[in-house]
Chains A and B, each alone.
Chain A
């Protein structure tokens, strides 16, 4: 993986969402790995060099909030929450737990890519 080719971890329990995101991100030049649940996501964060995480909230087993709380702190990976939940409390709680951004589903692929770029720009 080159310096330019950042790796993004997509975490969502819905296969269709993972597939759409993977295609969109790969087309934009990112290396993509996926996880179908919270525990798999935590495992992949430890195994791979991940530049950014796209994280769903409602998942069986560990939900997105629990993943945020359990993420290895030393990695300091930016996290964009990607969720169908649209209420203010959930958004604000996400930021309180360490999320860097919150994008509501359904989302615009163009805006999501622009938000990813904005986050990665700050850690370069």
Chain B
């Protein structure tokens, strides 16, 4: 996942970079203070998503937006201190996918960007399905947008359900103990109390269509853990590092 931030405030860039490090692994963040260079970077680097400030030292942000939209349909979020209603409406009408006013919640910025990526993925998947109908119920995982689908239908999962699925799939065939899953997915809870893991495994199985009485994808390893043995495909391979 490549993100371009066109922003002249180093502090904002640092906050975004730090948040992405913890909440969205394997992101390649490119930044520039200048609008003109930003437009060039969109052409050269082909980012997946652009974060654009409106107050730039060389060119007005709306002009940068206009130039980018003249050749690119890349997802774009305006992140600015210019919070007036007229500007918010103008930004969205002139092609921004979202408009966030500073001061902002970095967690919400990332959640909004992931939502845009997910919607783009759905639209692309729908278009592909329209062209070539498929009856496959295979699990597909998009590591970039942190989403999964079965038979082309997006699974609605909360962040913890995705994290659990991610851990199981990326350790395919290996038993993961309930304590390890607790530690990684529910770090704020007591890892010896593994009921959360069982509850979330049940929710995952339900969403995957995996019969809990006779599971074919997520198997119980006695009472101590789980392992993933199902088949799946990777839509976009942006793997994040698994801690040992």
Chain A interface residues toward B at CB < 8 A: 68-69, 71, 73-74, 76, 78, 88, 91-93, 95-101, 108, 110-111, 113-115, 117-119, 122-123
Complex-state Cα separation, A98 to B153, whole angstroms: 13
How many A-B residue pairs have C-beta atoms within 8 angstroms? Tell me. Answer: 72
Contacts A78-B119, A122-B120 known; A111 to B88 CB distance under 8 Å?
A: yes
B residues 138-172 near A (Cβ < 8 Å) are 152-159
> Can you sample 12 A-B contacts with CB below 8 Å?
A71-B156, A73-B156, A76-B126, A96-B157, A110-B85, A111-B85, A111-B89, A114-B89, A115-B92, A118-B92, A122-B97, A122-B119
Q: 9 more A-B contacts (CB under 8 A) besides A91-B108, A92-B108?
A: A69-B156, A88-B107, A93-B158, A95-B108, A95-B112, A101-B115, A114-B93, A115-B92, A123-B119
Question: Do residues A74 and B98 form an inter-chain contact, with CB atoms below 8 A?
Answer: no
Asked whether B189 is an interface residue with its Cβ less than 8 Å from the other chain, the reply is no
Q: Distance (Å) between the CB of B9 and the closest chain A CB? A: 21
Chain B residues with CB under 8 Å of A114's CB are 88-89, 92-93
Q: Give the interface size bracket for B toward A.
A: 20 to 34
Question: Do residues B154 and A76 form an inter-chain contact, with CB atoms below 8 A?
Answer: yes
Contacts A92-B108, A111-B89 known; A100 to B119 CB distance under 8 Å?
A: yes
Question: Do residues B111 and A95 form an inter-chain contact, with CB atoms below 8 A?
Answer: yes
Chain A residues with CB under 8 Å of B119's CB are 78, 100, 119, 122-123
Question: Do residues A95 and B114 form an inter-chain contact, with CB atoms below 8 A?
Answer: yes
Question: Do residues B89 and A101 form an inter-chain contact, with CB atoms below 8 A?
Answer: no
- Kindly report which residue of chain A lies nearest to residue B156, judged by CB atoms: A98
Complex-state Cα separation, A113 to B90, whole angstroms: 11
Complex-state Cα separation, A68 to B118, whole angstroms: 15
Contacts A95-B114, A99-B115, A123-B123 known; A88 to B108 CB distance under 8 Å?
A: yes
Question: Do residues A92 and B111 form an inter-chain contact, with CB atoms below 8 A?
Answer: yes
Chain B residues with CB under 8 Å of A74's CB are 152-153
Complex-state Cα separation, A92 to B104, whole angstroms: 13
Chain A residues with CB under 8 Å of B112's CB are 95, 101
7 residue pairs, one from A and one from B, having the closest CB atoms: A114-B92, A95-B111, A73-B153, A92-B111, A114-B89, A88-B105, A95-B115
Partner of B92, one of A68, A96, A111: A111
Complex-state Cα separation, A74 to B112, whole angstroms: 22
Chain A residues with CB under 8 Å of B155's CB are 73
Question: Do residues B97 and A118 form an inter-chain contact, with CB atoms below 8 A?
Answer: yes
Q: Distance (Å) between the CB of A80 and the closest chain B CB? A: 11
Complex-state Cα separation, A123 to B97, whole angstroms: 12
In the complex, which of the residues A69, A76, A91, A123 has the most CB atoms of chain B within 10 Å of its own CB atom? Answer: A76
Q: Distance (Å) between the CB of B206 and the closest chain A CB? A: 11
Complex-state Cα separation, A74 to B158, whole angstroms: 18
In the complex, per-residue mask of B89-109: 1 if CB is within 8 Å of any chain A CB, else 0: 100110011100000010110
In the complex, per-residue mask of B119-141: 1 if CB is within 8 Å of any chain A CB, else 0: 11011001000000000000000
Complex-state Cα separation, A114 to B119, whole angstroms: 18
B residues 54-112 near A (Cβ < 8 Å) are 85, 88-89, 92-93, 96-98, 105, 107-108, 111-112
Chain B residues with CB under 8 Å of A98's CB are 118, 154, 156
Chain B residues with CB under 8 Å of A69's CB are 156
Chain A residues with CB under 8 Å of B111's CB are 91-92, 95-96
Question: Do residues B107 and A97 form an inter-chain contact, with CB atoms below 8 A?
Answer: no
Q: Distance (Å) between the CB of A104 and the closest chain B CB? A: 11
Complex-state Cα separation, A69 to B153, whole angstroms: 13
